[in-house]
Structure 1
C-alpha cells in the first residue's frame, strides 16, 4: 500500500542555509537516534541520503521489516524574503488487503507526522543566530542604522534580494514556473485577472476593477506596501488624474509631500579636462509623493471597486491552456496551495519575478539604496536629480539623488549603473552599498546633530538593452520592473508607469473584450517606448571604463551639450519623450563639442556593441518614420481595419502619444475605437 502526505511551509531563512543545516544532520528529520539506531514509527530504519542542489532527499528502509520503505523529499524554493519548503513523505507498506479506512487513517497520520516535524525544525531555527546578528559584525553601520529605524526585519529581505541577483548573475536561472496544458487543474476560485505583486500593480488593478472586471491581487507581503519613495512632475500627475484614479483634492491633501521649484544635474569635475556644467531642469521631477499613502489609497479604492486582496500569499506556478485561452495560477496561502482561474496573470512581481528571470534576463542593473531622513541641510526648493561628488570608487561611479518631503524630511538615494554577469565591473550587493551609503552620506549632505534615519529605501532596478519588445508567455502580461527598459530617470519605473497607465489599461480592456490574448498581441500592452530603448548607450557611459574621472568628464560633456541645445530638448530627454531629431542633435552636438567621443565610444562599447548601436539607430529611424506616416492615416481607413490590425494600430498610436510624438488630432483613435461593449466577466 502506497501512502503519500504533502505539505507546504514557509521558512524564514535562505535555501542554501536550510540545505546546509539539514543535510549535515545524521539520519533524517523523522524520529530519533536511540542507541545508535534510527527509530521511527516503531521501526528501526536504515537511512540513505540522496540530496541535490535544491532539494533534500532521504530514502529509508526498515531493518526489521525490509519490505517497509519510505521517502522524505524537501524541495527548497526561493521566495526572496523566505524559503518555500514543499515536503513529500511517501511510505510503502507491505502488501495487504486494501482497506479504504486504513488508507485514510495512515494518510492522516503521515500528514500530521510531517506537519509536526517541519514545524518543529522551523521553530527551532528561529532560536539560532539571526542574520541581523551576523550583519552587526560584517556591516556595522548598516546594522546600527536599521536598528535605530526599527527595521532589522528588512535586512533579511535585502539579503534575499542580494542572493537572488548573485545567483542570476552566476547563470543560476530559476526553473520556469510555467506550464502549458489542455487539462488545467481544478480551481478554487475564478476571476478575470490575477495580479501577482501588490506594488504599482495595485493602481493598475484598481482601474481594471473599476471597468467591471473581477480582479484579485496577491503579494508575498502586504498588498500596497512600498519600499521606495517617488517623485514626479506636474504634467505626469495630470495624466494620473485624467485616468480617474484619483482627484487633485486627494493628491494635495494626502499624497503630495512637497513641491520644489528646480531640479539640478551636476557632476564632479576635479581633475577633468572639461569644465563643470550644471543642468537645471524645473518641471521634470519637482513633486515628492508619499508612496505609502498613495498605495494605501489604491488599496481602499480597489476594495471599494469589488477587488479581492490576498496578503502574505506567494506565487508558485502558472498553468495555461492555449486553446481555451485560460490560465490557472497556483499560490501558497495559509500553509496550503490555492488555485485561481483567470483569463490572464498580470506579472507585477518586479525585478525578481521568476517568470521574467527565467525567460527574459536583464542586461543592465542599477543597485539603489537610501533612506528617508530628517536633520539634513538641504534647500527645500531644490531637488537633486543626478549628482556625483567624487570620481570612480571601487569600479563604481556613485550617483546621488535627493528630494525634500514632509516637514523638512529628505529622501536620499545613492546608486550606480553596471552590466550584469561576466561583464559586471563590481559584485552587486545592496548590503555593501548600504554600508557605503552610511559612510559617504556626510560628504553629500551636511547632517545636523539631531539627524535621524526614518526608513530605508532600496531595490535592484533592472534594464534590458534592446530595441525589440520582449515576447511574453501565453496567458501572462508583465508590468512595471518585470518588463523594464532603460531610462535615465525612471529608476523605479514610476514615471513611466504613470505616463503609460491609461495606455496599458485601455489596451488591456480592448484585448479582453475582443479575445486578443495571443503572446504577440499581449506584447503590445506595455510601457515600451522605442525612444527609451536607445538609452542603453547612455547608461554604458555611466559605467567606469578607464581613468577614475572618465565618467564624470563625459557626463559634463553631455550637460554642456544639453545646455546648448536648450531646456525643451533636455526636458524631453529626461522625460522619455526624445524624438528622432532630438537624438541626432544630441549625438552630433556631442561630436562637435567633444571630438574624442568616437574614440571613447569605441573603447566603452567595443566593436560588437558599436555595430549593435548602429543597428538600433536604424530600427529607431524606422520607428520614427512609421510614426510620422502612421498618424496621418485617414480615420475612415483606420476604422475599417480588421480587429487584430486595429488593435496593433491603437497600441502604436498610444505609444506615440506616450512619447509625445503625436502631431495630428486624437480623432483617429477615438473614431477607430468607437463604442466598446461591456466586458464579460470570467467564471
Structure 2
C-alpha cells in the first residue's frame, strides 16, 4: 500500500476514489478524449409564458450573483444539482475585497464579520536560495463557506428567489425570446455558473485543449507547531519531475491548511494528481518541520484548473452568459473560484441588470460582460515562465532565481507594486517599473527567460503589454466623459458602461 493510499483511506468517504476519478478526468483532458456534450440547441419558435428573468445553473457561487439580482427586482431561479451548502474548507481572500457584499447590500457589517472564520498576518513569499518577502493583509482572511452560503440562501429565498436543489442542468434550447432550460424553466437569460467543466463550456470550446493547467493537492490537518503566519507563494526545491513546486500554508479554524501546486502544459507525460499527492506527502515534513505520523488529517484537498490563452470565453448563443470559472476570466496564475467571482461581482451585477433592462441579450451584447482584459492576458507569460514543459531542459534553479529577482525588485518598489500583483492585479505603471528594474539589475535572467517562453509568446505578450497601457489611458478618458453619458439612450449607456468596465478591469484599476 502506498503512503497516499494509507493516508487517504483513513479519511471518511471515498477520498481516494475521488482523487482517482479526478485523475481520469485530467488524463482525458490531456489526451483530448473527453466527449463533447451537445446540450445547447436553437429554435426559431418563440416561447410562451416566460417565467423567469434569469435562471442560474450552479448554486455554490451562483447564489452570490443570484441574490444580487433578486435584490434588484429580477425573477431569479437557481438550479443546483445537489443540496446547496458550503464546503468545510475556508475560502481565502483579502479583507478589502469583501466590502462588495456590504456595498451591494447582500450582507450587513455584522453578518460579514461573522462570515470571517480566520485571519492571520503576515504572509510570506520565498524562493529556494533567494530572499524572503513578507506582506500584511493579502489573502489573509478565511471565509466560512457554510455560514456564508446558508446566510445568502436564506436571504435569497426571503427576497423572492426560487431555489431548485437536486436539479441538475441537462439541456438548453435557445428561442428568439428566451431559453428553455432542462425542459422546464423558461427564462429570458441563462447564466452558467457551473465552473470549468460545465457542459455548456465544453460544447462551446469544442474539444480545445487548455494552454496551461494548474494541479493542486493539499490537506487541512492538526498536529502542527503553533504558527500564526502564512505562505502565499513558497518554494524550497529546484525543478523536479518537470515541475517547479510551489507551496501555500495558512492557519485554518480546525488546524493548518497546506497546499502544493504546480503549473504545466497539457502534455500527457506530466504528473497526475495521485503522483503529486505522493510528492506532497514526501516533502511536507521538510516544508513544515513536522512528521507525517504526528498529523491528524481533517480533509484532503485536490483539483486541477485548466486555463486558456483566449479568455474570457464568449458563447456563440444569444441569451446565455458564462460567469465565474465558466467564463475563464480568472488569472492563469490563480485557482479562480470564490475570489474571482467576488472581484467581478459588482461589475456583473450592474451589467446583467442593465442587459435585462435594455434587452441587450444577444451574444455580442453579452460578450461585453466578459471582455478582453490585458491585465489578465499579460500574466500568461508569467505562468509560462513558472513552469518547465516536457520538452524543455532548464537549469534546475532557473525558475527560483527569476522569481526571487522579480519579487526582490517589487519589494524595493514598495507595497503599491507588490500587493496588487499578489492579488492577481497587474497595472501598467507597476509592471513597467518592475520590468525595467529587473532587466537592468538581472540581465542574465532576462536572457535565460526568452528561450524558455519562446519568441512567439514574447511577441504575443508585448501586444497585451501595449494594450495594458492603452486601456489605462482609455479608462482615464472614459471617466472624464462620464458626465455626458446621461444624454445617451439606455441602450447606448449599456455599451458605454461595459466599455468603461472593460477598460477599468483591463487596466487593473479595479484594485
TM-score, length-normalised on structure 2?
A: 0.90
- Is 1:393 matched up with 2:240? yes
Distance change (3 Å), C-alpha of 1:511 and 1:634:
closer
Deviation at 1:429, TM superposition (A): 2.8
Distance change (3 Å), C-alpha of 1:190 and 1:599:
same
Partner SS for 2:196: helix
Deviation at 1:250, TM superposition (A): 2.0
Partner SS for 2:295: strand
* Residue matched to 2:157: 303
Deviation at 1:606, TM superposition (A): 1.6
Deviation at 1:533, TM superposition (A): 1.9
- Is 1:218 matched up with 2:61? no
* Residue matched to 2:400: 552
1:349-364 aligned within 5 A: 349-360=194-205, 361=208, 362-364=210-212
- Is 1:164 matched up with 2:12? no
* Residue matched to 1:75: none
- Is 1:264 matched up with 2:264? no
Partner SS for 1:492: coil
Distance 1:168 1:654 in 2: 33
Q: 2:282 aligns with which of 432, 436, 439?
A: 439
Deviation at 1:632, TM superposition (A): 1.6
Q: Over residues 266-312 of structure 1, what are the superposed CA-to-partner deviations in whole Å (9 max), with x where a residue is unaligned?
A: 0112xxxxxx1212221211211222322222222222223222333
Deviation at 1:451, TM superposition (A): 2.2
Which 5+ residue runs of structure 2 have no aligned equivalent? none
Of structures 1 and 2, the one scoring higher in RCO (CA 8 A, sep 6+) is 2
Contact 1:209 1:305 in 2 (8 A): yes
* Residue matched to 1:415: 261
Q: 2:13 aligns with which of 136, 143, 151?
A: 151
Larger strand share, 1 or 2? 1
Q: 1:575 aligns with which of 394, 401, 423?
A: 423
Partner SS for 1:603: helix
Q: 1:230 aligns with which of 81, 86, 91?
A: 91
Partner SS for 1:159: helix
Partner SS for 2:146: helix
* Residue matched to 2:250: 403
Distance 1:511 1:366 in 2: 34
Contact 1:228 1:458 in 2 (8 A): no
Q: 2:328 aligns with which of 480, 484, 494?
A: 484
Q: Over residues 508-558 of structure 1, what are the superposed CA-to-partner deviations in whole Å (9 max), with x where a residue is unaligned?
A: 111111101111221222486431221111111110241221111111111
Q: 1:624 aligns with which of 472, 488, 504?
A: 472
Distance change (3 Å), C-alpha of 1:143 and 1:212:
farther
* Residue matched to 2:455: 607
Q: 2:4 aligns with which of 112, 137, 142?
A: 142
Distance 2:88 2:247 in 1: 18
Q: Over residues 176-213 of structure 1, what are the superposed CA-to-partner deviations in whole Å (9 max), with x where a residue is unaligned?
A: 321111137889x9322222112212211121122222
Distance 1:474 1:600 in 2: 46
| Superposed CA RMSD | 2.6
Distance 1:179 1:580 in 2: 42
Give 1 or 2 for the bigger CA radius of gyration. Answer: 1
* Residue matched to 1:327: 179
- Is 1:208 matched up with 2:69? yes
Partner SS for 2:231: strand
Distance 1:311 1:157 in 2: 22
Distance change (3 Å), C-alpha of 1:432 and 1:248:
farther
Partner SS for 1:590: helix
* Residue matched to 1:312: 166
Distance 1:186 1:166 in 2: 44
Deviation at 1:454, TM superposition (A): 0.7
Q: 1:346 aligns with which of 176, 188, 191?
A: 191
* Residue matched to 1:384: 231
Moved more, 497-506 or 228-237: 228-237
Partner SS for 1:309: strand
Distance 1:236 1:527 in 2: 21
Contact 2:330 2:336 in 1 (8 A): no
Partner SS for 2:169: strand
Q: 1:286 aligns with which of 116, 132, 140?
A: 140
* Residue matched to 1:272: none
* Residue matched to 1:518: 362
Contact 2:504 2:510 in 1 (8 A): yes
Larger helix share, 1 or 2? 2
Partner SS for 1:313: coil
Contact 1:184 1:328 in 2 (8 A): no
1:81-160 aligned within 5 A: 140-152=2-14, 154-160=15-21
Distance change (3 Å), C-alpha of 1:488 and 1:477:
closer
Partner SS for 1:245: coil
Contact 1:462 1:485 in 2 (8 A): no
Contact 2:192 2:326 in 1 (8 A): yes
* Residue matched to 1:541: 385
Distance 2:215 2:453 in 1: 21
Deviation at 1:384, TM superposition (A): 0.7
Partner SS for 1:633: helix
- Is 1:509 matched up with 2:353? yes
Deviation at 1:488, TM superposition (A): 6.9
1:36-75 aligned within 5 A: none
How many aligned positions are there? 500
Partner SS for 2:160: coil
Contact 1:184 1:320 in 2 (8 A): no
Contact 1:226 1:295 in 2 (8 A): no
Distance 2:296 2:459 in 1: 49
Contact 1:223 1:310 in 2 (8 A): no
Q: 2:215 aligns with which of 367, 374, 377?
A: 367
